[in-house]
Structure 1
């Protein structure tokens, strides 16, 4: 579980930024094989670090809870261990 950013080469270019086609992830326009440095997915991969804050604006949806996913990406070890025991 959780919310992740990832490349999406199978979606039509027209869906990005205008159509909700996911159940939680944020798909970024990409090419199959990820060999095109001019795609949004390549830009994100080349210009971000693990732990960077990502703000998704104007969705009209609620803010994702920090414990969505209970994993090492968004919780320290003590929080993860306490949550996974429940």
Structure 2
């Protein structure tokens, strides 16, 4: 599949992405993630490996869109947990 990431065209296949990520240790996921094989990787980590570009050169959305079109499961960043309102702040 042809896709554009950081203004550069790439012809990617699902098997090529899986092969590129084989043996790569997943970093801790703090933003969006993608499941490749048995591991969940940060989307930016996968983008860096498959494009050989610096992570600052592309957005997470560009890579997630391409990976989703290839059939990978991408998950957005988890919403921050809500904190409880202290009892002294309750206007009751």
Q: Is the TM value for this pair above 0.5? A: no
Q: Which has the larger radius of gyration?
A: 2
Choose between structure 1 and 2: higher strand proportion: 2
Give the TM-score, by structure 1 length.
0.29
Q: Tell me the TM-score normalized by structure 2.
A: 0.28
